[in-house]
Amino acid sequence: MTNPYAPPGAPVTDMNRPPAGWGKVLAMIAAGWLLANFLAWLIAPLAASAVVQALGEEPDKPVTMFLAIDLLLSIAAIYFGCRVAAWGSRGRIVIAALGVAVLSALFYLYQIGGFAGLISAEFPLWYQFFPVNLVALLLALWSSGVSKT
């Protein structure tokens, strides 16, 4: 015999939520991009400089160790921005993460002066042409389960 005073079960908890609307997806792309660029352009160089100084190198000149640490921290920053955007977009994970990665790449090109600035910069070519945004995007998609079948 069932209890007539027991509350009914909530079938809504077992259902998948629908994807977020396009306004929310665009807002999450903007938030992820702002977060990624704040971390990649402000925090990553400061942290890399602190590590290089702790190891006894001069942070003023672009040493290989500084550039390598900066690349790794930039990948982590853009990965985090992609994950934040993907989390907020619910079912539109690929679009949100791709939006953050593409906007970050375009902002980087703008900051260094376009493709001409890419070649004529003071940094070595391996640093300039390393696919930071692509690596961060692929890591974000892989860790969010998009590539899993």
pTM to 2 decimals? 0.81
Q: Residues near 64 by Cβ (< 8 Å), separated by ≥ 6?
A: 124
Q: What are the average pLDDT values for consecutive 10-residue runs of the chain, which has 149 residues? A: 69 63 92 96 93 78 84 96 90 92 94 82 85 94 74
Side-chain-side CA neighbours of 5 within 13 Å: the count stands at 0
Tracing tokens 């994807």 back to the chain, one arrives at 19
pLDDT the model gives residue 149: 47
Q: Tell me the two tokens of residue 24.
A: 């929310």
